[in-house]
Homo-oligomer: A and B are copies of this chain.
Amino acid sequence: MITARVTVTLKTGVLDPQGKAIEGALATLGFDGVDGVRQGKVFDIELGHDDRRRAETDLAAMCEKLLANTVIEDYAVEIV
């Protein structure tokens, strides 16, 4: 069994209102010195086989087709 973690983050330059809201909330809570917050998504995926090469191909395809919007998002796949 292969476990993978896919991390999807907004590309640099893409506006992140959710991150901005969190930044504001942290300031309100008294955390000074926060210069920026960007929010992304993480997917922990379990695959029922042990073929690492197939897993890499499949996971990249999953990102391209479903998990990430590659126009505005980057993704990183890490097999753990």
Contacts and interface: CB of A to CB of B under 8 A. Distances in A.
Contact of A22 (B25, B36, B46, B66): B66
Say how many copies of this protein the assembly contains. Answer: 2
Nearest to A44: B38
Interface string A7-29: 10100000000010010011001
A41 B7 CA distance: 9
B66 A9 contact: no
A9 B42 contact: yes
Interface in A26-61: 26, 29, 31, 33-49, 58, 61
B1 A31 contact: no
A26 B22 CA distance: 31
